[in-house]
Structure 1
Amino acid sequence: MPAMHVRLGAFSAALVLAATLSTAAFAQKKYDTGASDTEIKIGNIMPYSGPASAYGVIGKTEEAYFRKINAEGGINGRKINFISYDDAYSPPKTVEQARKLVESDEVLLIFNSLGTPPNSAIQKYMNSKKVPQLFVATGATKWNDPKEFPWTMGWQPNYQSEAQIYAKYMLKNHPDSKIAVLYQNDDYGKDYLKGFKDGLGAKGSSMIVIEESYEVSEPTIDSHIVKMKSTGADVFFNITTPKFAAQAIKKNAEVGWKPLHFLNNVSASIGSVIKPAGFENAQDIISSQYFKDPTDPQWTNDPSMKAWNEFLDKYYPEANRADASVMYGYIVAQGLVHVLKACGDDLTRANVMKQAASMRDFEPHGLLPGVKVNTSPTDFAPLSQLRLERFKGETWELFGDVISGDVGG
């Protein structure tokens, strides 16, 4: 009889254990639309055509990186299904593509959609649908607003912090300069301008001699350059996207205007801006950076640069390795993979945002030494550090220390 009792006891213990395990297994696996045992569906919107098409390589790099991840077994055994659409940098088109991704393709989230005006156009929609608008490819300050927009998160250092860093440099080294500002007439341009004016403070009104804006629909900004030159300005803050940045560098040389030239980070790519404008025309331009420039010889034997080159050799051999946007795409794709891995088997939209808001000292391959990714539930700005750089010969030369931006949401 006692033996029977033992067996029954063991049997009921096994039942309890089985029930516990199945409950644990059940509790562990949670999915929202766009995730399953086998795949994670990720949406993306890029300007593959139109005035900002130079940025299209970001989407191509991300697609290549996710192919690499899938070939290596995916994320916790799940393959990434990356669906990327063209919006031609046109906000109405962005809205159309976002609706398609969320309502027809049924993606888990939209990742790294590009541009300030395009992302502004879908921010309310994404938040009302409670679908993550994750690591947007724009440095506007407003993406760091977890209270109002808990489903939207930025990635790169914000434009206001960057512009303040330039302003501080000018105040310290060129306090009596006459500054001409050229900016794109939209949220992106105005965000940089605000940071710049805040950085200059009371001196700004006497230092800035002209604020010239252009529309993204203009074919050329040549006339704006001529107008700015006529003011006698000796410092030029160039707040433009790649196509117009290259035009400005070229036109300055043509008309013989040689101010101290500050170029916003979003157009610091050698491949898509500097080289087309002519190396000889870009000497001594100052910009800023938070990741390694692939053309900089100091990184030749750097392990993270070797890993980057190996990735491109295998998955995106036709990439222009002098284009900073390729490195940008590589770094932010690592950010998404990091978040998805951290989600484990809880692939809900809420957990995606929770994991994205708890990154601690994450260092994807390609960031400059000392630059790290940090977020919290109240800070949705993953990157906030930069170093200044000056263009010399055919490459950027870093100078000064890593500087932290001090602009919150």
Structure 2
Amino acid sequence: MLAASSLHAAEMRGVSPGEIKIGQTMPYSGPVSAFGALGKGEVGYFKMLNESGGINGRKVDLISLDDSYAPPKAVEQTRRLVESDEVALIFSSIGTAQNTAIAKYLQSKNIPQLFVGSGASKFGDIAQYPQATVGVQAPFRYEARLYARYALKQNPNAHFAVLSQNDDYGRDYLAGLKDVLGDKYDSVVTGATYEVSDPTIDSQIVKLKASGADVFVIAATPKFAAQAIRKSHEIGWRPLTFLSSTAVWISTVMKPAGPEAGVGIISTAYVKDPDDPAWDNDPGVKGWRAFMTKYVPEADQHDTNYVNAYNSAMTLEAVLKACGDDLSTENILKQAFAIHDLTLPMLLPGIKVNTRPTDHVPVDQMQFMRFNGKSWDRFGDLETGN
């Protein structure tokens, strides 16, 4: 019995009687450093938890390293977290390409890759990523399907122009459009891509306007989304425009683009926007604001990345609580794939977190919203793109 219990303890890597170590990489520098807010929010959340005694008596040591949004750096830093820091799991590392780059290594080391900082639907492919879950957000591919369906309802003969990042993140949106458009895809879609190192995407926008498209899908990170909105406005191109849910932030996208340039743009929401007056007296938003003020005081509370951080950390907290004292890789994965109707105070009402051994996508619902020049107005019912 003693031998078995010692063996079990040995399998609980990164775990001591008073602590569990977890790790992540974040783009604290580089082209999408705005997303570093996710890591700052999560560090703040576990600081708050630790002050109140941690989880099941253990403090959570979240080691958050900069990868500059570069996949090779993400691999290097993840190796450090696993081999030097000996973390129990990797949590919420940002980026589709980055998480793809580290997945096989983590599988070879038997390390869970939980609630990745990406909405790429492929992380729900159990055969390819058996130890991963999609992030606590609606998958990009599902989102793109909703945009295609909406556009076709307005105009069954719509021609689509798509600006997409030239990596797996951008390709997920293209896949979602293709799911809906089917055989028509090649004849009704004009695409243009960009690299994260590009200084500007002006020429791509001019090319897309010239295609004559009446629908524009912006599958871009914040910096390039702002440029795309501004440039299309400057050249007088006014198609029905859809904006990736990763780039809906007022402070880092809509204001830099020029608020008037974004009027009428449609996107999707799955979280409560603290800037929406509808939530002024909402207990969940009040709790989030109190957390932010105390534990991430330097942060911009208009940046909804911090809402995603809160949701992701809260979901991992639920998983680790459910593990009890058994923090072996096997049990962490078992609990991560057995979340049932978890309600988070900053998800939209009606959206719950669910996973099963056969379903590694925690959130699949979202609601349309439209930009009015100052804020986003939600409309319609909850939709699912699965």
TM above 0.5? yes
- Aligned pair 1:174/2:155, yes or no? yes
Q: Which residue identity is paired with 2:127?
A: K
Q: Does 1:128 align with 2:108?
A: yes
* Counterpart selection for 1:229 from 187, 209, 234: 209
Moved more, 149-158 or 165-174: 149-158
**Alignment pair present for 1:196 and 2:184:** no
Candidates 104, 108, 114, aligned match of 2:94: 114
Q: 8, 29, 35: which one pairs with 1:55?
A: 35
Distance 1:41 1:376 in 2: 25
Aligned equivalent of 1:213, options 171, 182, 193? 193
Give 1:261's aligned amino acid: T
Asked if the contact 1:357/1:377 (under 8 Å) is kept, the reply is: yes
Structure 1: distance between partners of 2:233 and 2:146: 26
Q: 2:255 aligns with which of 275, 289, 298?
A: 275
Q: CA 1:58–1:310 in structure 2 vs 1: closer, same or farther (change >3 Å)?
A: same
Letter in 1 for 2:362: P
> Match of 1:346, SS?
coil
AA in 2 matched with 1:309: R
**Is contact 2:8-2:328 (8 Å) kept?**
no
Tell me which residue corresponds to 1:260: 240
Q: Distance in 1 between matches of 2:10 and 2:87?
A: 15
Give the whole-Å Cα distance in 2 for the aligned partners of 1:390 and 1:31: 49
1:134-184 deviation per Cα after TM superposition (whole angstroms, max 9, x unaligned): 110111121112233221111222211111011111111122322211111
Q: Please, which moves more after superposition, 257-266 or 199-208?
A: 199-208
Report whether the alignment pairs 1:74 with 2:54. yes
Taking the TM superposition and a 5 Å limit, the aligned residue runs for 1:8-19 are none
Alignment of 1:28-67 (within 5 A): 32-67=12-47
Q: Which letter does structure 1 place at the counterpart of 2:26?
A: M
State the secondary structure of the residue aligned to 2:292. Answer: helix
Determine if contact 1:112/1:137 at 8 Å carries over to the other structure. Answer: yes
Q: What whole-Å deviation, never above 9, does each CA across 1:75-100 have from its counterpart, x for those lacking one?
A: 11111111001111101101100100
Query: How much does 1:405 deviate?
Result: 2.0
Q: Counterpart of 1:146?
A: 126
Report the secondary structure of 2:197's partner residue.
Answer: coil
Whole-Å Cα distance in 1 between the matches of residues 251 and 58 of structure 2? 35
1:165 aligns with 2:143: no
Q: Aligned partner of 1:207: which letter? A: V
Q: Which of the numbers 339, 345, 353 marks the counterpart of 2:333?
A: 353
Cα distance in structure 1, aligned partners of 2:8 and 2:194: 52
Deviation at 1:29, TM superposition (A): 7.3
Structure 2 match to 1:3: none
Rounded Cα–Cα distance in structure 2 between residues aligned with 1:226 and 1:148: 38
Residue aligned with 2:106, SS? helix
Does the C-alpha gap of structure 1 residues 29 and 300 become closer, same or farther in structure 2, counting only changes over 3 Å? farther
Alpha carbons of structure 1 residues 127 and 26: separation in structure 2 relative to 1, 3 Å? closer
> 2 CA distance for matches of 1:173 and 1:341?
47
Which residue number corresponds to residue 226 of structure 2? 246
Residue 347 of structure 1 aligns to a residue whose secondary structure is coil
- What secondary structure does 2:21 align onto? strand
Distance in 2, Cα, partners of 1:120 & 1:113: 11
Contact 1:163 1:195 survives alignment (8 Å):
yes
- The amino acid across from 1:176 in the alignment is N
What is the match of residue 328 of structure 1?
A: 308
Establish whether residue 314 from structure 1 lines up as the match of residue 294 from structure 2: yes
State the distance in 2 between where 1:174 and 1:321 align.
38
Q: Which amino acid aligns with 2:293?
A: D
Q: Deviations over 1:10-37 (max 9, x none)?
A: xxxxxxxxx9xx99x9999786111111
Paired with 1:30 and 1:312, the residues of 2 have a C-alpha distance of: 37
Q: In structure 1, what is the Cα distance between the partners aligned to 2:363 and 2:10?
A: 29
Displacement of 1:317 in angstroms is 1.8
Q: Structure 1 CA distance, aligned partners of 2:75 and 2:8?
A: 34
Stretches of structure 1 that go unaligned for 5 or more consecutive residues are 1-18
Residues 1:360 and 1:120: Cα distance change in structure 2 (over 3 Å): same
Measure the CA separation in 2 of the matches of 1:30 and 1:307: 38
What's the CA shift for 1:205?
A: 3.6
RMSD: 1.9
Query: Which amino acid in structure 1 is aligned with residue 283 of structure 2?
Result: P
CA contact (8 A) 1:28 1:345 kept: no
Instruction: State the alpha-carbon separation in 1 of the partners of residues 128 and 197 from structure 2.
Output: 31
Which deviates more, 357-366 or 31-40?
31-40
Identity of aligned residues (%): 52
In structure 2, distance between residues paired with 1:233 and 1:74: 53
Any conservation in 2 of the 1:250–1:277 contact (CA below 8 Å)?
yes
Given that 1:127 and 1:152 are in contact with CA atoms closer than 8 Å, whether structure 2 keeps it comes out as no
Which segments of 5 or more consecutive residues in structure 2 lack a partner in the other structure? none
Q: Distance in 2 between matches of 1:221 and 1:339?
A: 41
Structure 1 length normalisation: TM-score?
Answer: 0.90
Task: Determine the C-alpha separation between the residues in 2 that align with 1:213 and 1:166.
Answer: 19
Matched with 1:103 is 83
